[in-house]
Amino acid sequence: MANFNLKDRVIECKIVYYGPGRGGKTTNLQYIFKAFKKQTMGEMVSINTKGDRTLFFDFLPLGLGKIRGCEVKIQLFTVPGQVKYSSTRKMVLKGVDGVVFVADSLQVRRKENLLSLRDLQQNLAEQNNSIFKIPLVLQYNKRDLARESIPLMPVELMERELNGKLKVPSFPASALKGTGVRATLQECLKLTLQHLHRELKWAR
C-alpha cells in the first residue's frame, strides 16, 4: 500500500511490472530510465543472473513532481518471470499499488502468458488483493517482430485470452524500440493515482 506522508504531502507508490520470463519487463524499465531522465531519482538497479535474466528484481525510482498539491514518488519494480522464482515474485509484489502486465506477443509464449496472469491473480489474492480491483494495464510486447516474419499472436486474440474478463486498458508495444512504453506507464500511473485518491484522499 502506498505511503502517504500527510505532513509533508508526499505520496510514494509502487508499480510492479509482471509477466512471463523474457517478455520484456526489464526492457520496459530500461527504456523508461532513458526516456524519463528528468523524472528518475536514482540509478536503475538490476539484480540478474549470469544469463542476464532477472534474478530478484529491477528497481527504478521516479519523481513526478507535484500533482494536485502533493509530491508524487513512484517505485517501479519488475519481478523475475521464470517459474522457479515464485517466492521472489510474491515478495516483490508486497504492497503493490498498480501492475503492468507485460505479455509476450510471440505465438510460442501463448501458454506462458496465461500461466503468468494466473500466477499474478493468485499472488494478489494471497495478499488480500484482487486482480479485478487493482489498477492494472496490459501490454502486448514485441509487436515489432511481425515485420521480421516471426509468428505473433494477433492483438485481438491476446485481448480475448488475457483481457476478456479483466477489461482493463491494453497497449501494443515494442519495449526494445520504446513504442507503447510511455503510454502503458502513463495509463498505469493515472489509474493508480486515481485509485489511491479514492483510498487516501491525497489530492487537494
Chain residues that interact with another protein, rule: CB under 8 A: 1, 21-22, 45, 47, 49-53, 55-56, 59, 75, 87-88, 91, 94-95, 106, 108-109, 128, 145, 148-151
Query: Closest CB to another protein among 2 and 131?
Result: 2
Q: Grid coordinates standing for 146?
A: 511481425
Query: Closest CB to another protein among 28 and 75?
Result: 75
Closest separation in Å from C-beta 131 to another protein: 18
Q: 58 Cβ partners below 8 Å, 6+ apart?
A: 17, 25, 26, 29, 44, 45, 46, 47, 76, 77, 78
Q: For residues 187 and 189, what is the distance between their CA atoms, to the nearest angstrom? A: 5
Q: Give the amino acid at 179.
A: T
Query: Closest CB to another protein among 80 and 168?
Result: 80
CB 100 within 8 A of CB 169: no
Closest separation in Å from C-beta 31 to another protein: 16
Query: Closest CB to another protein among 22 and 143?
Result: 22
Closest separation in Å from C-beta 166 to another protein: 23
Q: 35 Cβ partners below 8 Å, 6+ apart?
A: 178, 181, 182
Closest separation in Å from C-beta 169 to another protein: 26
Closest separation in Å from C-beta 127 to another protein: 11
CB 142 within 8 A of CB 174: yes
Closest separation in Å from C-beta 95 to another protein: 5
Query: Closest CB to another protein among 64 and 145?
Result: 145
CB 62 within 8 A of CB 73: yes
Query: Closest CB to another protein among 17 and 56?
Result: 56
Listed as own residue / partner, the contacts of 177-182 with beta carbons closer than 8 Å and 24 or more positions apart are 177/144, 178/31, 178/35, 179/143, 179/144, 180/139, 180/141, 180/143, 181/28, 181/31, 181/32, 181/35, 182/32, 182/35
